[in-house]
């Protein structure tokens, strides 16, 4: 049985660090620490103190942007320009959490509406839900940690954070900063462990809330095993569709869709994947999209000029290569790319009209591949876009407001971008999938609310 995790660079597979894995025997101590903190309300951190801690955390992070940036790039392989944006988003997320603490509040419930409810006043308040287990993904190692850790702290919950084994260093760096900022011992425990141990953790009855970011297979399995009463938020992937109408603005659209498709080598849960283009402009779209794709610079993620970095592991490159080859064998036209560059690099790839049963048409690619499909009837294209069981973010490009509104209404998605790519996100907006793509809602304030629960107080007095 493995007792350590070896962290390597996705860029060149060079060794970075070795970290210990905790065993099943260690889980009880971790859970007890968090559970005991929560059950004794004298330990709870006052709101003003939580604000102070998070404000100081944001300040320290700002002072250490370069260190956080290099750490995220080294372990995750996301190019410099995109990792810089992630670090800045993470800092903004901490600030948003601090600001939202003042908005954690209840409301008055009307009384006296019936004879039986006379002489009473009632109101709700919000309490922390309890111990949070947060299981994270590799693709945004710092920002995801903020969305799962800082939101729990803002809500008043002790949190046990399990980062992806491939990219744990950013989570540990955030934990060190929170400790420096004054977070009391035990309120955040960062652990690395194997899948069996992680399951033991999240299914324990001492866990009140599971925050999970990762594959649908694992997420829905864990949900089925949760202890009775444990609530959860699951964020899975999608296969984001885009509808492109004949009046779309090419100058705006092409750079946007290329960015949305190949950002972080397509390793984004809302990455542009399936683009349905009106037949009238399909040839021109393919020509311009392919030309822009060929200009992307693939290489060292620490180089500021790099557009597309590596995939997280060689195994992922193997999978993407297999899926692309399968699509071509089933009749897809390879427009550009399609080849492995190295152990962890795959060319930015554009496929035209893969069959509906190809893996690239039915599963989340999570790699640098975009598929283009022609359509004549928009309603038929929307039907094809909605055909899968994953529904997260989608997009439509048109200058006709009626077409935009009609498409937004008909697309099955939690968010539809109009004249923007599917991967657009800011950290104060709601973010999450529906159907197989997840349950619950992310976004800083939304996640904080998920980690609280209401308590009603009713006061009876003859003087009311």
Which sequence positions are flagged as catalytic?
A: 235, 269
The tokens for 83 are 């990792």
Q: Dihedral of the CA atoms 321, 322, 324, 327 (nearest 10)? A: 170
d(CA 185, CA 187): 6
Q: Rounded to 5 degrees, what angle do the CA atoms 460, 46, 40 make? A: 75
Q: Is the sign of the CA dihedral 245, 329, 258, 265 positive or negative?
A: positive
Please tell me what DSSP assigns to residue 160.
Answer: E
- Cα→Cα distances 21→65, 142, 194, Å: 28, 20, 7
Report, in angstroms and rounded to the nearest whole number, the Rg of the chain calculated over CA atoms: 24
φ/ψ of 105, rounded to 5, equals -155, 160
User: Which residues in 373-392 are b (16+ Cβ under 10 Å) and which e?
Assistant: bbbeebeebbebbeebebbb
Query: Of 255, 215, 260, which Cα lies nearest the Cα of 235?
Result: 215
Q: Which of 208, 197, 276 is nearest to 25 (CA)?
A: 197
């Amino acid at each position: 049985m493995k007792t350590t995790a070896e962290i390597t660079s996705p860029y060149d597979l060079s060794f970075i660090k070795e970290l210990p894995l905790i065993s099943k025997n260690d889980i009880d101590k971790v859970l007890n620490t968090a559970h005991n903190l929560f059950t004794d309300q004298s330990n709870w951190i006052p709101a003003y103190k939580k604000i102070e801690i998070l404000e100081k955390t944001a300040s320290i992070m700002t002072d250490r942007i370069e260190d956080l940036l290099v750490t995220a790039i080294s372990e995750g392989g996301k190019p410099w320009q995109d990792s810089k944006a992630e670090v800045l988003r993470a800092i903004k997320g901490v600030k948003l959490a601090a600001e939202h603490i003042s908005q954690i509040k209840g409301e008055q419930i009307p009384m006296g509406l019936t004879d039986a409810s006379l002489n009473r006043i009632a109101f709700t308040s919000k309490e922390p839900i309890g111990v949070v287990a947060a299981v994270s993904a590799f693709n945004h190692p710092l920002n995801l940690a903020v969305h799962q850790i800082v939101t729990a702290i803002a809500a008043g919950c002790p949190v046990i954070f399990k980062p992806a084994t491939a990219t744990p260093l950013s989570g540990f760096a955030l934990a060190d900063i929170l400790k420096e900022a004054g977070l009391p011992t035990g309120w955040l425990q960062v652990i690395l462990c194997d899948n069996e141990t992680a399951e033991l953790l999240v299914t324990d009855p001492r866990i009140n809330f599971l925050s999970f970011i990762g594959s649908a297979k694992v997420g829905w399995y864990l949900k089925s095993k949760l202890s009775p009463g444990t609530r959860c938020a699951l964020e899975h992937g999608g296969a984001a569709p885009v509808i492109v109408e004949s009046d779309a603005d090419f100058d705006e659209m092409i750079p946007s869709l290329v960015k949305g498709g190949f950002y972080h080598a397509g390793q984004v849960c809302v990455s542009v994947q399936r683009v349905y283009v009106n037949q009238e402009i399909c040839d021109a779209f393919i020509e311009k999209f392919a030309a822009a794709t060929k200009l992307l610079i693939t290489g060292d993620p620490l180089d500021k000029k790099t557009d597309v970095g590596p995939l997280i592991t060689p195994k992922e490159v193997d999978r993407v290569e297999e899926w692309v080859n399968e699509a071509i064998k089933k009749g897809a036209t390879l427009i550009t790319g399609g080849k492995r560059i190295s152990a962890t690099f795959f060319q930015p790839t554009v496929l035209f009209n893969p069959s509906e049963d190809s893996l690239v048409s039915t599963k989340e690619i999570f790699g640098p591949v975009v598929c283009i499909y022609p359509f004549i009837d928009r309603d038929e294209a929307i039907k094809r876009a909605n055909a899968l069981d994953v529904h997260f973010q989608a997009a439509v490009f048109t200058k006709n407001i009626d077409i935009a509104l009609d498409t937004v209404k008909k697309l099955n998605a939690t968010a539809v971008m109009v004249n923007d790519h599917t991967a657009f996100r800011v950290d104060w907006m709601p973010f999450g999938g529906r159907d197989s793509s997840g349950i619950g809602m992310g976004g800083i304030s939304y996640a904080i609310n998920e980690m609280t629960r209401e308590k009603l107080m009713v006061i009876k007095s003859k003087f009311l």
